[in-house]
Amino acid sequence: MPEEILQVENIKKYFQISSDQTVKSVDGISFSIHSGETFGLVGESGSGKSTLGKMIVGLYAPTSGTIRFDGYELTSDLDRSTRRKLNREVQMIFQDPHASLNPRMRVGDIIAEGIDAYRLAKGKERQEMVYSLLEKVGLHPEHAQRFPHEFSGGQRQRIGIARALAVKPKFIVADEPISALDVSIQAQVVNLLDDLKQEENLTYLFIAHDLGMVKHVSDRIGVMYIGKMMEIATSSDLFEEPLHPYTQALLSANPVPNPRLARKRERIVLSGDPPSPVSPPSGCRFRTRCPYATNICKEEEPAWKEVRTNHWTACHLY
């Protein structure tokens, strides 16, 4: 197995929203990602998945815990040049391609922002890099002169991808990169990201709210619920043998083309919204929506366990 490029250890992010209220957006999560892997991270809104992604790229400072990338502890005091190198190597693709592109800048200059900031090229070489990036994401060199509003949502996301690739990253956090796009073009963008992963030797943290979106591109998948990780497994194990009742509920909401799997899958209806991360339930956070909850689920938080080889979950049923 390739070495781990990212290690997240007991990471927490709390937001103080008033004198007596704290949102525990991410509340003690540990996991790692292997070099060259696509790790899908799934959860409903408010699960903390985007907050986790923003801590990894350095947009949020963790409340506690550590993040190690390529041997460096991102959460420690690093010297300026190491911090700069790591900032370049870990890039983010944002959910809303419309909001993340400056409407007053030409596309070529948007893509070259990182090239300029890290002084990777100038003049003719810079221009050639921009043209080649546009072609790499399925656009044309002449698009460099246009403005973001002249493009469709899918094309704008391609521009966002080219901008992230411009600084030659090793690791990309793709934060719901297809959620804002028409269903008809979602698969194209996912396929593009998958192709680029192979061509550019990238590792991805692919964040989505729906398991179906990450199924085909992820090597492993993590399922989050109100700031906690509920389950991590390979994509095939998670879909064939989901252990956690929350994962089972998410999957039972998805139609299954395979009749064998459909028979195996018990239907668990996920009613209502998740509880607020300001006052999450005691014990297991999923207990207020779990059909199997018993007294212990209220009293004790379930331990994070490797129930099968490389298949982890936190549930008192195991």
Structure tokens at 311: 């298949």
Q: How far is the CB of 245 from ligand SF4 (least distance, A)?
A: 4
Stretch that binds ligand SF4, among 3-11, 78-86, 250-258, 285-293 (CB under 6 A): 285-293
| Residue 39 near residue 205 (C-beta atoms within 8 A) | yes
Q: Does 317 bind ligand SF4 (CB under 6 A)?
A: yes
Q: Is 83 exposed, middle or buried (0-12, 13-18, 19+ CB in 10 A)?
A: middle
Q: How far is the CB of 187 from ligand SF4 (least distance, A)?
A: 32
Q: Is 21 exposed, middle or buried (0-12, 13-18, 19+ CB in 10 A)?
A: exposed
Q: Does 274 bind ligand SF4 (CB under 6 A)?
A: no
Q: How far is the CB of 257 from ligand SF4 (least distance, A)?
A: 27
Q: Does 39 bind ligand SF4 (CB under 6 A)?
A: no
Q: Does 307 bind ligand SF4 (CB under 6 A)?
A: no
| Residue 305 near residue 318 (C-beta atoms within 8 A) | yes
Q: Does 292 bind ligand SF4 (CB under 6 A)?
A: yes
For the chain, what's the residue count? Answer: 318
| Residue 157 near residue 178 (C-beta atoms within 8 A) | yes
Q: Does 316 bind ligand SF4 (CB under 6 A)?
A: yes
- Rounded Cα distance between 259 and 212, Å, is 17
How far separated are the first and last CA of the chain, in Å rounded?
A: 27
Stretch that binds ligand SF4, among 51-59, 71-79, 189-197, 279-287 (CB under 6 A): 279-287
Closest CA to 156 of 132, 139, 175, 176: 139
Q: Does 245 bind ligand SF4 (CB under 6 A)?
A: yes
| Residue 53 near residue 205 (C-beta atoms within 8 A) | yes
Q: Which of 290, 304, 311, 312 binds ligand SF4 (CB under 6 A)?
A: 290
Please say which residue, 154 or 277, places its beta carbon nearer to ligand SF4: 277
Q: Does 61 bind ligand SF4 (CB under 6 A)?
A: no
Question: Which residues bind to ligand SF4, rule: CB under 6 A?
Answer: 244-245, 284, 286-287, 290, 292-293, 297, 302, 315-317
